[in-house]
Structures are given as structure tokens and as C-alpha cells.
Chains A and B, each alone.
Chain A
Amino acid sequence: MAAKAIAFINFKGGVGKTAGAVNVAASLAYYQNKKVLLVDLDPQCNSSFWLTDPHFCRNHTKGGKNSVAQIFTDHIQGSSIFDFDTAVLRGVPYVDEYSMVPRLDLLAADINLLNVEDKIYQNKYAQFYRYLYKTLQPIYDQYDYIIFDCPPNVYAVSKNALFAADYCVVPYMPDFLSLSGFQILAQRIDDFNGRSSGYRQGRKPCSIAALIVNHYKRVGNVYQDAIEELKTILAQLKSDGLVHPKCSLLEPPIRTCAAVAASTGAHQPICVYDEGSNGGTDFYNVSLALEQHIWSLR
């Protein structure tokens, strides 16, 4: 069966897209024995540097040739340099060349993704949002899940993720500012789905299927109130058809956890770095909830 492709997307920065994508992908591979590919689409390379040492990663990507950026460059320039088997990092992270999570693969990002945003519109007749899917489609059968870590915007690269994905997961922080504009994000995704649906060849549009709460603290009512507000907004968006009819808030909320921050420096996902920490427990439970939720949508 082809992989379920999930885009972690939100146009707001700092809401936990990368933390969610990396740790959910790792948990699915580590605890649930799923074959997972994590595709880093953010030019800041945060997912790539979370799971590999930056020097190692830069050496591997060779100026972008073995990174996801090359997929776009090939389509824009008409070249065919990208080779998935050479580019993919299998079983990340590594300790002394030993794989820590053998079923987790990484397609690393590169700073050249920044140039992609500028150049991708050069041919205004090209369906630029199909580039990523066209290249990765042959490997969908090799995985159970493909997870896209999107940059904090809904520009060309993110649109490629939306086209390549079956569902979106929106990570967010439970505060007033993070909630503002959630309906705009849903509208943007819905608009894009409307425009690109003719090219999806029978695949259903990539709607927002789940939300993950990050940076949660059990202090006072502030965080819980924000979650309730989100649920109220979600009810309206479902009623307006802007999100998946079964879209839900995945439980539990991910608590703020120093071990998760520390795991970035160790270049390991939390399930390997400190699986007993609050973050380890929460991401384990969320990945379980996501797996069940995705199955319920099939």
C-alpha cells in the first residue's frame, strides 16, 4: 500500500512544526515499526540538523545536490541530477555510524531552497506545485508514512507539499496570537486544493485532518481556554467545509519540555534521547493518536 503522506504546516513560525514532524516521524518508526520518510522542506534545515550533525549533513548534501532542493532545481532547469537513493539518509540519527532508528529515513533540506522560491515562477505556465510529487511518487510504495516538514509560509515549496500530501497536520501553540489567522490558513489550503484538484489523478485533496498542541503548560486556565477556543473555531471550519469533516485535535497536548530542547543539540529525536521525559511520553501518545486517526479517515 502506498504511503500516507502528511504535511506539517502552519504559516506561523515557532509553533512546533519541526518538533512535531521530527518526533512524530521518529515515534512512528521507533515504537510502531512503521517505515517513515521525513522530508525537510524548510531552508533553515531544522529537521535535517535535528537528526544529523550539521557538518555531516552539509557534507552529504554536497551543495544541495543530495537534498530536496535539487528536486526543484531539476524541474526548473530541466536537469536530472537528483537521485533519491543517493540523497536519502537511511536510519537516522546515527551514533558512530550506527543507526538509532533504522526505519526512519531523511531527505535533507538545503539553503538553496531559498532560491527555489525565487526561481520557481520563471515558467509561469508550469504547474510548479507538482514537482515534488512527480519526483517522489515512485518511492511512495517503499514507506508507510511520508512526513513533510514545511517552512512557515504557504508559498511554492509548501504548495508542493500540499500537492504531494494526503493530509495536513497543523501544529500550534495555545495562545491568542497563534490562533489568529487559523481560518485564513484553512481558506488558503482549501483554495489551493480547489485550483489543483484537477491534477491529483484521483487522489483526494489534502485537507487539514488534525491539529497538534505544542508548548502546553498546566498553569492556570490560559492554555486550556485557548484549546477550547480552537475547538470552537474548528467546529465552524468543519461546518464551512474548510477542514476535513473528521478533523480533530490530537491528544494529549505536548507539554513544554527541556529534554526536547536538549535533544536538538544531541541531534536525536526525543524517543531516543529521553523517552521517559514529558516530551517523550507526549510525542509517543500523539503519534499513536495520529496513527489511529489517519486509519479512521481511510
Chain B
Amino acid sequence: MSLKNLSERLAALSSVIEENEGKLGGKALVKSAKLFEGQLAKFEDRIGDAVQGSNPQVRELQALLTGPDRKLFTVAACRAIYRKALGKNPPPDSFKTPSSAVKTLVSELKSSAKAKLALAECRQIISKSTAPKGQVAKDEERLRLEMNRLGALDDEQRQYELETRYRKISDLKALASANGIKLPKGITKQKVLKSVIARAQRVRGHYLG
């Protein structure tokens, strides 16, 4: 099937949905629509990349490097990202100032599949800078506050903090039990993590506005 055929099918489908929107529903249809929506989002990204000549990772990377956290991306940080993503040292001439380093980084990654690696490194730098320093709290009141804080984080930041600050299962268990999560004996770290994340998200869900 050519892209032209696909475009015609999508247009036809679109008009059928539009005409019958009020009649369409049901569990099976919703399930199928959700699956299609996911695939469609990916396809839209691919089309967008093809039209703009960049991939979504690079666009996201650019947004991160020039966004509110841009001060974190010093020359040294950009060098580290470059090395991690491209596996070689960056050209010294273009890595003199943070802005030139960012520019070079983005331009070189545009043609590279390593953009994903660079993006992960960037996120790690942001997560590291925003995660609280020092030991995990011990008393109940602070551990309850910590649960609220974890609930307010986005998924990636929460994941980072749980992996780096809660390496020991004993710390995770202390966090869980201070927040009244009952844990059976011999529970795995993965299961404690799952319970903690679920509770943190639920608690945060109660905050309106």
C-alpha cells in the first residue's frame, strides 16, 4: 500500500467516525480505539520527523537543552553527553561556550541514531540535580512527606530517585511501612517498589487544583 492509499483510507475512516460519532461506543471499540491512538501517535511522530528532517528524540533533546534547566548543561556536561552518545571526544573548537556546545551537540546528533542515548543522559543530569541530597529520612512524619513528594514527581524523575536514593530494600521498606503499606515477609524489592509507586500516585491523585 502506498502512502497515498493510506491517506485516502484515513480520510474515509475519518468521515465515517465523524458522521457516526454519537452512535459509536462499547468496550471492544474503545479498546481498539486506544490501541489505534497509540499507533497513530507513533506514526504522526514518524511523519513529523520525515517532514521536518529530525527525529522526536532530537526535538525533545533540543527542548531540554534550551529549556528551563539549560543552566545545568555546562560545557563539561555537554562534553559528557557527547561522549556518551557518540562514543568519541567532542571537537574542542565548538565546545568553548555552553551555547556553542549545545548547538554542535544537536547538529551532530541530528544525523545520528544515538540521540536516544543523549536524551537519557540529559534526563539523568536533570534528575540528579533535582533529587534531594543526603540520607533517606527515618521518622514517620518525614517519610509521609517523602511519599507526597514522590507522588508529585513525573515518572522518570520518580524512577531515578527510587533507583538511586532507595538502593537498599530496607530504606524502601521503611518508606512503605511508615505510610501504612503492609508488606509480607520475603517480599522482593520490585514488589515493594510497585507498592510504593502505586501509593505515591494515589496520594497525589487526591490533590485537586
A–B pairs, 24, beta carbons within 8 Å = A176-B206, A179-B206, A182-B206, A183-B207, A224-B180, A225-B180, A228-B181, A229-B199, A229-B202, A229-B203, A229-B206, A231-B179, A232-B144, A232-B147, A232-B148, A232-B179, A232-B180, A233-B206, A233-B207, A235-B141, A235-B144, A235-B145, A235-B148, A238-B141
B209 on the A face (CB < 8 A): yes
A234 and chain B: residue at smallest CB distance: B144
**Which residues of chain B are within 8 angstroms of A233 by Cβ–Cβ distance?**
148, 203, 206-207
In the complex, what residues of B have CB within 8 A of residue A232's CB? 144, 147-148, 179-180, 199, 203
Report chain A residues within 8 Å CB of B199: 228-229, 232
Whether B145 contacts A231 by the Cβ 8 Å rule is no
Mark contacts of A225-255 with chain B using CB atoms, 8 A cut-off: 1 yes-contact digit, 0 otherwise: 1011101111110110000000000000000
With CB as the reference atom, state the residue of chain A lying closest to B207. Answer: A183
Contact with B along A258-288 (1 / 0, CB 8 A): 0000000000000000000000000000000
Most chain-B Cβ atoms within 10 A of its Cβ — which of A180, A181, A221, A233? Answer: A233
A184 contacts B209, C-beta separation under 8 Å: yes
Name the interface residues of B160-209: CB closer than 8 Å to any CB of A.
Answer: 179-182, 199, 202-203, 205-209
Q: List chain A residues, Cβ under 8 A from B147.
A: 232
Chain B residues numbered 137-157 whose CB sits less than 8 Å from any CB in chain A: 141, 144-145, 147-148
Whether A228 and B179, one on each chain, are in contact in the complex, defined by CB atoms closer than 8 angstroms, is yes
Complexed CA–CA distance, A227 and B203 (Å): 11
Complex CA gap A227/B208 in Å reads: 18
Cα–Cα distance between A182 and B207 once the two chains are bound (Å): 8
A154 to chain B, nearest CB (A): 14
- Which of B141, B148, B202, B206 has most A Cβ within 10 Å? B206
Please report the C-alpha to C-alpha distance between residue A200 and residue B202 in the assembled complex, in whole angstroms. Answer: 38
**Minimum distance in angstroms from A182 CB to a CB of chain B:** 6
Judge whether A181 and B180 touch: CB under 8 Å.
Answer: no
CB distance from B177 to the nearest CB of A (A): 10
- Give the CA-CA distance A182 to B208 in the complex, in Å: 8
Q: Which residues of B contact A228 (CB under 8 A)?
A: 179-181, 199
A231 CA to B182 CA, complexed, in Å: 15
Q: How far is the CB of A134 from chain B (nearest CB, A)?
A: 33
Nearest-neighbour CB distance to chain B for A284, whole angstroms, equals: 25
- Set of chain B residues within 8 Å of A184, measured between Cβ atoms: 208-209
B152 — nearest CB in chain A belongs to which residue? Answer: A236
B141: A residues at CB distance < 8 A: 235, 238
Complex Cα distance, B202 from A235, in Å, reads 15
Known: A232-B144, A234-B144. 7 other contacts (CB 8 A): A180-B205, A183-B207, A184-B208, A184-B209, A228-B180, A228-B181, A232-B199
Shortest CB distance A49–B (Å): 32
- With a cutoff of 8 Å between Cβ atoms, the chain A residues found around residue B182 in the complex are 221
A225 contact set on B, CB distance < 8 A: 180
In Å, the complex CA distance between A228 and B141 comes to 12
Closest residue of A by beta carbon distance from B209 = A184
- Chain A residues, Cβ within 8 Å of B209: 184
- Quote the shortest CB–CB distance from B144 to chain A (angstroms): 4
Of chain B, the residue at the smallest CB distance from A230 is B206
Complex contacts, B179 vs chain A, CB 8 Å = 228, 231-232
CA distance A234 to B180 in the complex (A): 14
What's the Cα separation between A238 and B141 when bound, in Å? 10
**Cβ of B206 and Cβ of A183 under 8 Å apart?**
yes
Q: Which residues of A contact B203 (CB under 8 A)?
A: 229, 232-233
Residues of B within 8 A of A239 (CB): 145
Would A227 and B148 count as touching, CB distance under 8 A?
A: no
Which of B144, B181, B202, B208 makes the CB contact (< 8 A) with A236?
Answer: B144
**Which residues of B are found within 8 Å of A229, using beta-carbon distances?**
199, 202-203, 206
